[in-house]
Amino acid sequence: MINNHRSNRRSKILLPLCLAVLTLGLLFLPGPNGLVSVLIKIYRTRKYQLQIQKLKARADSLEQEIKQWHNPDYATKIARQIFDEQNTTKADTIK
């Protein structure tokens, strides 16, 4: 009777323990299907998505700038600002 009780108790403990070890083993399995690998892939994917969004925003702003430069009034205005600054600094250094 005591021996049967120990055997029953052992099997009740052994089964959940094996399931826990198996579950943890699968979660931390090295290779492409392990939890750590999957989490790293998710992190990298999010990181690359953020980079893509930033690059798209930068491309949009550059396209807007290109459109502005196609406008002759804008190009003339900027050129005058640049040349006026250069003339002002030269005049200051001569004095």
pLDDT at residue 7 in the model: 65
Q: What is the C-alpha to C-alpha distance for residues 45 and 38, in angstroms, rounded to an integer?
A: 10
pLDDT at residue 93 in the model: 56
pLDDT at residue 22 in the model: 86
* pLDDT tens digit at each of 95 positions of the chain: 455 566 677 778 888 899 998 888 777 777 777 777 888 999 999 999 999 999 999 999 999 999 999 999 999 999 899 888 777 765 555 55
pLDDT at residue 90 in the model: 58
**Tokens 């979660």 sit on residue:** 27
What lies within 8 Å, CB to CB, of 75 at 6+ separation is 69
